[in-house]
Amino acid sequence: MKYTTKIYSSLNPELYCKWKRLWESSPYASLINSPYWTSAVIQTFPDVPCTIIAVYTKDSLNAVIPLWKKRILSVLVYTSIPDHFTYGIPILADVLNNHLIKHLLAEMIQLGPCHFQNTDEQFVGTVNTYLQGLSFARTSTVNYSIDLQNDVDIRHTMSNKSVIFRRIKHISDRFTIRSANNTSDHALEEVFSIDKNSAKQAKGYATFSNTSSRMFYRLLQKEFKSNFLIHFLEYDSKPIAYSIGFVVHNTYIGSQLGYDLSASRFQPGKVLAYKIFEQLKNNSFSHMDLGTGDSHIKHLMSSSHRQLYAITLSRNSLVRNVLPLAINFREKIYTILFSNKKMYFIYKSIFPSV
C-alpha cells in the first residue's frame, strides 16, 4: 500500500474532523494523540512550534502524531507537551501495521531528535523494532489501573475500603460525591478554588497555580466535552476535594486530584478516589486508570501496574545516549528537592515546564 505524508504547522478543520474519526475508532487512542489535546495545547502554548505528521492512503487518514519543538537541557527536540501532564502513546496508528509504522517513524526521525516521556512498552518495542540502533529507552515511572470487569481486581479494591475510610468510619454518611456538569465553567472554578488552599499549594506545587495550567484545562474541558469529568467530595455539602478525569473509549483516566488542606485529617483524596471507583463500577466502565506515579492510595486501589518508559529517537548518537541520562539526573534532583518548598521553587524557576 502506498502512503503519502503531509506535514502541518497548525490544526485545520478538515484535519481535525478526519483525526477525530480516526481517534474515536482506534484501539490505540490516548489523551496525547487526540485532536482535542492537540487543539488545547496549540491554543495554550502558541509560541511553541507545532508539527503534525499525517499519513494518508489517498484521502483517508491512517496515522497522525502531533509534535512540538522545544529545548530540553539545551537540546532541540520534538516531543509531547506540556511535559508534566503527558502520558500515553504519542502516535495514533495501528501499531501492528508494520509498513505504516515504519513509514511514520521514518518521517519522525527525519525531522530531528524526538523524546517522549511516560509511554508504554508496546510503543517502545515498536520503535526499537523499526529504528534499531537509533533509539534509547529507560524506565520512567509506573501506571496503576483497575480492571473493572475482573473480579480479582474489584475484590482487591473493595477489601481496602475499611482502610481508606478509616478516619471517617463513624461519620461516613456526611461525605458525598458530586459529579459536576462537564461543560460548566463554574465546576472548574470550584476546582481552582480548592487548589488554592490545597495540600499541594502548601508544599509549593499546586497544579493550577499558574495561568497556563488553568487555561489548558479550560480548553481541555471545551474540547473533550462529555469525555471530561469532574468529581467533588463534599463534607456536609461543602466541597473539600476534587478529581479531574477523562474518558477514552470505555476507560476512565484519572488526571488531577487535590483537596483542601484543612480537611486533610479525613484523607479526602483517598475517599474520593474510592467513591469514583464505585461509580465507574456501577456504570459499566471497563477500566479505571490511576495515572502515572506511585503512591499509597494507588497500592490500596490496585494490585496491578505496568512500567512506563522515556524514549529518545535520534540519528545523533551523542543526543541519543547522553540526553536521556541528563534528563534522568535532573529528575533525581527534582525528587530530592520536591520535599523542600523553597528549593523546589528555585528549581522550577531554573527549569520551567512547558
- Among 63, 52, 70, 58, residue whose Cα is nearest residue 26: 63
C-alpha grid cell for residue 289? 486508570
C-alpha grid cell for residue 328? 534522568
Query: Which pTM value belongs to this model?
Result: 0.92
In this predicted model, what pLDDT tens digit does every residue of 224-255 receive, in sequence order?
999 999 999 999 999 999 999 999 999 999 99
- Whether residue 214 has pLDDT greater than 80: yes
User: What's the mean per-residue pLDDT of the chain?
Assistant: 92
**What is the C-alpha separation between 350 and 141, in angstroms, rounded?**
23
SS (H, E, C) 260-301: EHHHHHHCHHHHHHHHHHHHHHHCCCCEEEEEECCCHHHHHH
Q: Count Cβ atoms below 10 Å from residue 308 Cβ, excluding itself.
A: 21
Q: What are phi and psi of 251, to 5 degrees?
A: -110, 135
What average pLDDT does the segment 261-279 reach? Answer: 97
**What is the C-alpha separation between 211 and 9, in angstroms, rounded?**
25
Full DSSP string of 114-158: EEEEEE-HHHHHHHHHHSTTSEEEEEEEEEEEEETT-HHHHHHHH
- Whether residue 330 has pLDDT greater than 80: no
Q: Model confidence at 345, in pLDDT bands (50, 70, 90)?
A: low
Q: What are phi and psi of 123, to 5 degrees?
A: -65, -45
- Whether residue 41 has pLDDT greater than 60: yes
